[in-house]
Structure 1
Amino acid sequence: MVLSHINLATGIPSSKVKYSRLSSTDDGYIDFQFKKSLPKIPYKAIALATVLFLIGAFLIIIDTLLLGGCIGKGSRLAIPVLIVGILVFLSGFYHLHIAYYASKGYWGHSYDEVPDFDD
């Protein structure tokens, strides 16, 4: 008695599966799959990163003036403004850094690393 093998993906016995041979010149690849497409530039994400960078820089400057006593005397808002300013500045700087190096074509950097806000 000969056992028939069953294709687990479809549940069809292998004796009913039809196969065809590839031509001898066909290696299974097409030229189009190796062509590099132009990178899609995430303009909205770069604009948001620029806004975050500028707001963070502004908050750090304001905090420096608060701590220096030029604006108000010993304001208790100095430390929270500094923390928020640093967090916003660093996130904007990080994404602008990646976008800049991707635009210059440096190895290891691409626009895929910048989050995209496509709808």
Structure 2
Amino acid sequence: MVPSRTNVAAGIPSSKVKYSKLSSTDSGHIHLRTHILKFKRSSTKIPYKAIACATAQFLIGTFLVIVGCLLLAGHISKVGANRAVPVLIVGILVFLPGFYHLLIAYRAHRGCQGYSFSDLPTCDD
């Protein structure tokens, strides 16, 4: 006795599956143009609030890093390292996440593989 074959995906025995012949006009070629139109880039929602927050962090962080460096070098005032280092540290802590999220947004906009706007944090109220 031969075991009956089943369709693995549907679990249907092969004796109950109905087959039909292909039309004689079918050449077996796939028209690429119709398939490309089906798989167009889906319109993803761009998180403008998250990009605005990242831009603000990037600009404020850049400003604080520059001011901290100028304070440390003594070009703005002679306050010394006791006031320049905290400004520099806060500037770096604000700059890094802003730069990182802007980089993700840029690469998602360019369509780089592995990057999408869903990787950005949500700024919903």
- Shorter-normalised TM range: 0.5 to 0.7
Q: Which residue number in structure 2 is paired with residue 64 of structure 1?
A: 69
Secondary structure of the residue aligned to 1:77 is: helix
Q: Which residue number in structure 2 is paired with residue 44 of structure 1?
A: 49
2:111 pairs with 1:92: no
Unmatched tracts of structure 2, length 5 or more: 1-16, 19-38
2:120 pairs with 1:114: yes
How many residues end up aligned between the 2 structures?
89
Point out which structure has higher relative CO (alpha carbons under 8 A, 6+ apart).
Answer: 1
How far off is 1:38 after superposition? 1.3
Unmatched tracts of structure 1, length 5 or more: 1-23, 26-33
2:109 pairs with 1:103: yes
Task: Give, in whole Å, the separation in 1 of the partners of 2:64 and 2:41.
Answer: 42
Task: Report the CA distance shift for 1:35/1:106 in structure 2 as closer, same or farther (over 3 A).
Answer: closer
How far off is 1:113 after superposition? 0.3
- Cα deviations by residue, 1:9-65 (Å, 9 ceiling, x for unpaired): xxxxxxxxxxxxxxx79xxxxxxxx98631110000000000000000000110111
Task: Give, in whole Å, the separation in 2 of the partners of 1:60 and 1:67.
Answer: 10
For 1:21-32, list aligned pairs within 5 A.
none
Task: Give, in whole Å, the separation in 1 of the partners of 2:68 and 2:57.
Answer: 16
Extract structure 1 runs of 4+ deviating beyond 2 A. Answer: 34-37
How far off is 1:77 after superposition? 1.3
How far off is 1:72 after superposition? 1.5
How far off is 1:104 after superposition? 0.2
Task: Report the CA distance shift for 1:99/1:59 in structure 2 as closer, same or farther (over 3 A).
Answer: same
How far off is 1:118 after superposition? 2.4
CA RMSD of aligned residues (A): 2.2
